[in-house]
Every structure is written in structure tokens, then in C-alpha cells.
Amino acid sequence: MSSAVLLISCPDQKGITATVTNFISTSNGNILHADQHIDDQSNTFFMRIEWSLKDFHLSRELIAQKFGHIAQTFNMSWELFYTDNLPRVAIFVSRHLHCLIDILYRHKAGRLDCEIPLVISNHKDAEKIVRDYGIEFVYLPVTKENKEEQEQKQLEMLKLHKIELILLARYHQIFTKSFVEHYPNKIINIHHSFLPAFAGGSPYAQAYQKGVKLIGATSHYVTEILDEGPIIEQDTVRVDHRDSLEDLKERGEDLERLVFSRAIKLALQRKILTYNNKTVVFD
């Protein structure tokens, strides 16, 4: 049975929750989940509300139209989703395939509610496995000289496949500001460190050099500033002096897969809002 999900943020004031829940209730909706949060510093109200469409009196067109009036009253930013509209996802990858393989496995096992019609890579390593899954693989090698040209081709492919969420599964190219602006809060990266520690290249080598006792992984939305976007999910795992750099990488791969897959799942379930370069995650 399908349900509708509203993600809302607006300046806090009295009556928001009552108004939103009345909107659903008076049209015979059954609320399945409701979470709200108020950020005291910025006096911002956040809400995620999900209700069953079974016996709901409004058509989908009318839901958007009628809720639009409410939204205007409270000066809301809002998004409306339906759980039977599977998000269309593209994956970018370079030569480290563990995150890609993990996503494809989870998707096939029915753990990720989305469609994955497209994988783009600047290398050919992933080609066979992607094609084995019946997914289109597009090889677009990137150099300093051809980056903008290749990004144009990437954007065409993304539009062609009606992609709304992009996953960077260890894609080792930095997008131009222009590319990122096409997909605000729609590109999720996995970085192999506990950000903000060890941003940039070779985070495991940095961690090894520093002698940290934990390594981390961070999944975040991509903004125009490298490794600085809103953090969705992070975790750490213990290491010690016996672990070589290669050991760190191996342990880190397990952590990356876990952290990345959790972040992806949260995004697909429409559980993430962003503000002030941070996230509200209604898990």
C-alpha cells in the first residue's frame, strides 16, 4: 500500500503541527510516522510526516495543490513524495569497486527501494559487473582538459535516465561547481575518513601517519567545496599499532560500505532534511 511523505522546514511558530496533521486527518488519512524537530538556534521547524493513501480522499494532484496553500501561510520549504514512485539513481565509480558491488548486492536483495538504470565511470574496471546486473555502463574518462566536456555528457545521460539521486561510490574526480549546482543535495558521497579529519586525498595514509586509534567513514551531500557538504552518516572502527596501512584500507572498506548504505537508505526513505550545511535525519 502506497503512502505519501512530506518533508517540511520553516520558521517555527505555533500551530504548524496541528495544521499539518489536520490537513491529513480531515481527508481521512492515517498517519504512519510523524517526526518533528525545532532548531533552537535558528528557530527553524522541521517535519517529516508519512500517511497511508488508503481511503485518502484527495488525489495526488490535489494533495500538492491544497498543501501548497498551507505551505505558503507558514513560509515552508517542502517536498512531497510517494513511496510507490521509486527514485531513479545513478552511481559514479572509479577503480575501488567495493561500495558499488555492495549497493548492487543490496539492490538485488531488495534492500534498497529504487531503480538503478545507470553507472558512469572514468575507468573500465566496473564495466563487466555492472553489465552483468543489466545496468547501462557509460565509460567517460576524465582529464583536466576534457572535464567540462565530459560533465556535459554525464548531465545528458543523467537527464536521459531521469536520475534524481547520484551516488559517488568512490568516484575519484572532483565535479565543477556548475555540475554540482544541477543536483543540490542530490549527490551523496562516501569519504573514507571521519570528516572533518583527513579531508582530501589518501585519508587512510593520513590516518596511518597520524597514528589514530580509530578510523572512520563519512557519507555526505556534495557541495561545491570538497568534502565539506552536510554530513548524513558517520561511523568509526578501532585500529591499533599492529594494523598496517593495508589493514586500515581493508577495515575501512567494511566501514565505508556500512556507512554509505545507511546514508543511501535514509535518502531513499526521504528521511533527510538539510539546513546550515547540516542535516536533520529522522531515523
Residues making contact with a copy of itself (CB under 8 A):
14-19, 21-22, 24-26, 28-40, 98, 101, 105, 109, 111, 194-198, 210-214, 216, 230-236, 238, 240-242, 244, 250, 254, 258, 261, 276-281, 283
Q: Which CB, 142 or 231, lies closer to a copy of itself?
A: 231
Shortest Cβ distance from residue 126 to a copy of itself (Å)? 13
Q: Cell digits for 99?
A: 561500495
Q: What sign does the dihedral 217-163-71-178 (CA atoms) show?
A: positive
The least CB distance from residue 143 to a copy of itself, in Å, is 28
Nearest distance, CB of residue 57 and a copy of itself, angstroms: 12
CB hemisphere CA count around 165 (13 angstroms): 23
Dihedral in degrees, nearest 10, Cα atoms 174, 179, 180, 183 = -140
* CB closer to a copy of itself out of 141 and 196: 196
Among left, alpha and beta (phi > 0; psi -120 to 50; other), residue 226 is: beta
Give the three cell numbers for residue 10: 520553516
Catalytic site positions = 227
164 versus 235: smaller Cβ distance to a copy of itself: 235
In the bound complex, what is the minimum distance in angstroms from residue 9's beta carbon to a copy of itself? 12
Residue 124 dihedral angles phi and psi, to the nearest 5°: -100, 0
Closest C-alpha to 77, from 115, 56, 48, 114? 48
CB of residue 262 to a copy of itself, shortest distance in Å: 9
Nearer to a copy of itself, 91 or 207 (CB): 207
d(CA 223, CA 36): 26
Contacts for 46 with CB less than 8 Å, ≥ 6 apart: 8, 9, 36, 37, 38, 39, 273, 275, 280
Which residue, 93 or 142, has its beta carbon nearer to a copy of itself? 93
Residue 97 CA to residue 183 CA, distance in Å, equals: 24
